[in-house]
Structure 1
């Protein structure tokens, strides 16, 4: 993404998804299947980092929660389609078709993503980082044009801020080490990776991947297990949508804390139900309550962790390390899931419902910690995010200082340099004006 662009990241992930998916569908033995899973995962997990990064860089500040949040909605929709196909092919008469069919259908989506890259623009922020100013300007003016605003004040002001910030960002260290050594970057990285860990420590993927097994524990047959899994995933689609709609109104922090704390409560109740009713499997009301608690859990998770988390990761970092920051967040999710999923079968076989205590304890303390350390990022332009981490000097232009003079149609910018106000064209300050400001400041001239 940093070298070739956000669209190149999409093509990269599509290639591995197609290759791995084709090998999965055509596997002739278990070894080939496992290798194919690795390749397919290379693509699908990569998509989880590419799409939020790209979406955040296209979205205006006031709608970023909704637009990036749609990634969560569509991820849930993808899980839903997978579950629905699993349910549909359960009834196939050919035992081979039962598993090759759904895997073959999955090949459609990376093909569609490749087609999409020919229809959508490159990220203007990436283009500015590469010095392609005019190409970036055209995209911003086209995407963020506002009806009833002949001067296009918003688009012009936004682009000016993006352009000036990119000029600074190009001079900053974009390396991995800086993300852990520079104070402001280190805090952002810790927040993103920390929330990713806590969010997956709700055990959501354990419930997803072992859903049928857990429903079996509650006493339900195979067909009912698949039906419950389809219903459960559908809840995620709906409530990811709810979360996306609320993010720009309520904010990220309240929903994220609500998600973690709410999941903790649901897990406590689920553990109590499983401990009381699962072994005997005779109390129908108790078993139904266990299923209902899984559904309530996913509703809370979707609103506060799934959709809010993906937005949060994508907007924390500056242009030159955004892709790396999002990738670290997704890698944390993957690693956390890997550990839990490897332990789940053994844990449920040996300590049964007590395995839920791991998730309960982490989410309980995690929700308290997040209350004190999470910042609110709602409505803040990506170029100004540094100010909430104490890096005010890294912000070149604040949006509140940019407006259009409707008499002259020129862009008026209150710049930090020398505390002066100057007139700039839509192309920004010339080098000569910058030089004059610096010289006057050095001479101690009255502003």
Structure 2
């Protein structure tokens, strides 16, 4: 613990030892089951689209508008995601972060069951939309809860558990699709089984939701101080929990009197700046095309000359190597400034797409190259996607959720995350509807639609975005010129009597023994309307 004496009272900064308890990690891992479910949901369509029974059931091999229908199965899922993202805050803000996760989890389970039982393409597309609403509500809600229960010193790494679990869901989805591809004469179990299995992670998360703690910041925002204090002491070390409790209360004295509507996020300049940054960040990352490549991996590998078996196997491999990138991000997010991290990640990803475009243009489009394929070049083109996804996940995939959660104060954090994730849905609604036709008509030139605007986005992020790495959530407001408690502005320092603090260190935490509370000076904190 770092402190300095002033008038007999120590100026104590955030605890520099271990700030979290094992219970904190356990709860984050359990909540990540929902992240796993989202990843599985998001990825499963890529392998479903090449299942022979799916194509035959909905006559996608004979319909004149097959490409449009295939595009709709993905684009309307993301259109639903756009509305799901924006609506995610209503339940989270009113009834708590846990309810904001449980409700879409239940809806996603029902949608998965109805997708598995679809009898025509119209029914399938409708429930893909519904599933998109539920899935992206989860995507927006889970990182908010994680960012509010993680301690500041390693918040980046802990919130990245969300993306790590999401990518495991992607990988499992790929191998499940590969397994079902080899089941024949099975009454459409090839594709129906893929959707039926989605119910499992959702049901598991719902079953344990009762034991997952509510966000202490949400509890304090609704003046449930005793519950928040107990929750903080269960999640974080005794020293950090006391300091964090006081700091959150200081900032909430201001925040709870401020407007928290969507309108206020566009009328108040500091909120508007955050909102535009959050939306543009996810749009910039999706300009790199990660979900286009993920959703249409089998199609892309097919255009490179690989058979259906390898198309699905390479897709599963693509999802699996992304986990390695996510593991790297757990360390990179702790040391790299956020804007530099995003800019370098986008440039590296686009460099891979530039190489991919060159390989496809020279070895997979001309009549001569198709008649006499260069197998080494085609394998290199397939491998380039693996390098692409490692770079992207190491720098962008999980860090975007960490950063958006850091940008916004507690009273509008769920709305901020909702707007951020809506950018992801917005971009992919456009990309995924156009992609099937674009890949088959303009081919390698489609990659230029990612490369050119993505380069501009990387430069703007590097120049305009602030670095929030390592800052307590309540201190980020100062970066945008918002009113904050004086104790928070002063390098997030809090006045605590050192004698009381050392006594409480010996007596343990709440729930073990009764302990004296540290004496805290809040004389400079004023309630502001």
Deviations 1:183-241 (CA, angstroms, capped at 9, x unpaired): 11111111111111010010111111110111011111001111110110011112112
Aligned-partner SS, 1:27: coil
Report the 3-state secondary structure (helix = DSSP H, G, I; strand = E; otherwise coil) of the residue aligned with 1:118.
helix
Q: 2:275 aligns with which of 148, 170, 189?
A: 189
Unaligned stretches of 5+ in structure 1?
146-151, 412-423, 439-447
Give 2:229's aligned residue: 137
Does residue 397 of structure 1 match 2:487? yes
Number of aligned residue pairs: 415
Alignment of 1:92-241 (within 5 A): 92-93=183-184, 94-145=186-237, 152-241=238-327
Aligned to 2:446: 355
Deviates more, 1:399-408 or 1:248-257: 399-408
CA distance in 2, matches of 1:359, 1:32: 32
Distance in 2 (alpha carbons) for counterparts of 1:3 and 1:427: 33
Deviation at 1:403, TM superposition (A): 4.7
> Following the alignment from structure 1 to structure 2, what is the Cα–Cα distance between the partners of residues 361 and 220?
28
Distance in 1 of aligned mates of 2:269 and 2:519 = 33
1:83 match: 174
Deviation at 1:326, TM superposition (A): 0.2
Question: Structure 1: how far apart are the matches of 2:394 and 2:400?
Answer: 10
- CA shift digits 1:60-114 (9 cap, x unpaired): 1111101111111111111111111100100112151101111111100111121
Following the alignment from structure 2 to structure 1, what is the Cα–Cα distance between the partners of residues 395 and 414? 23
Partner of 2:20: none
Retained in 2: the 8 A contact 1:157–1:403? no
CA contact (8 A) 1:57 1:125 kept: yes
Higher-RCO chain (CA-CA 8 Å, sequence separation at least 6): 2
TM-score scaled to structure 2, two decimals? 0.76
Shift of 1:390: 2.3
Indicate whether 1:249 and 2:335 are aligned: yes
Note the C-alpha offset of 1:332: 0.9
> What are the superposed Cα offsets for residues 306-328 of structure 1, whole Å, 9 maximum, x if unpaired?
11111111111001110000000
SS of residue in 2 equivalent to 1:88: helix
Structure 2, unaligned stretches of length 5 or more? 1-91, 504-515
Provide the residue aligned with 1:371 in structure 2. Answer: 462
Partner residue, 1:415: none
- Give the TM-score, by structure 1 length: 0.89
Query: Is the Cα–Cα contact under 8 Å of residues 153 and 404 in structure 1 kept in the other structure?
Result: no
Deviations 1:244-283 (A, max 9, x none): 2221122322221111111111111111011011132410
**SS of alignment partner, residue 94 of structure 2:** coil
Tell me the equivalent position of 1:291.
Answer: 382
RMSD: 1.9
CA distance in 2, matches of 1:31, 1:397: 58
1:351 Cα deviation (Å)? 1.4
- CA positional deviation for 1:43: 1.2
Offset of 1:352 from its aligned partner?
Answer: 1.4
